[in-house]
Amino acid sequence: MTPTPPSIVARIVDGPLIPKVEHAALLGEGWIPARDVAGPLAPGVVGALLRFEGIVRRGEPSEAHGGDERELLALDYQTYDPMAEREIRALARQVTEEHRLSSLVTLHSRGRVAVGEVSFVLIVESPHRAEAIAAMSAFIDRLKQDVPIWKKPVWR
């Protein structure tokens, strides 16, 4: 059987990642989880599907208050879109290749995301769980370090 090239979706979207927004972004990219495909990525190829959601916490350390945690209303995410989208896609390709993933999907918010709302989604599919877990951790660490997405706290 000829290996199917990995599926990669990497997008920055406006506002919180509510199900309607996530669905529209994934549908627009043509991504369907392998477990829902009756074709080359049919059951038996993907052994692990992991999903991570980054949710805005109620508290955030404040430099103005000596690093003590302050209560938030929201986070405002800012991006330099051309560079951020290019970097997030490049990172997705690198991690997919390094960890031999079947697919990697990442969506990150731009704009205001309130406490309790989702600002980041990462879905990885892999033949084995170890690669999926390692890929998830590597992607998140490198995203925070390398992709020009900044968060500005909106304090209560």
The pLDDT tens digits of the residues spanning 100-116 come to 999 999 999 999 999 99
- What is the C-alpha to C-alpha distance for residues 21 and 14, in angstroms, rounded to an integer? 9
Global model pTM greater than 0.85: yes
Residue segments in the chain with a per-residue pLDDT below the cut of 50? 1-2, 38-42
Reading phi first (left if > 0) and then psi (alpha if -120 to 50, else beta), residue 30 is in: left
Task: Look at residues 26, 70, 72 and name the one whose alpha carbon lies nearest to residue 51.
Answer: 26
The DSSP symbol for 1 reads -
pLDDT at position 61 is: 85
Q: Are 127 and 121 in contact (CB under 8 A)?
A: no
pLDDT at position 82 is: 87
Question: How is residue 100 written in tokens?
Answer: 């031999």
pLDDT at position 62 is: 84
Task: Give the β-pairing of 48-55 and 118-126.
Answer: antiparallel
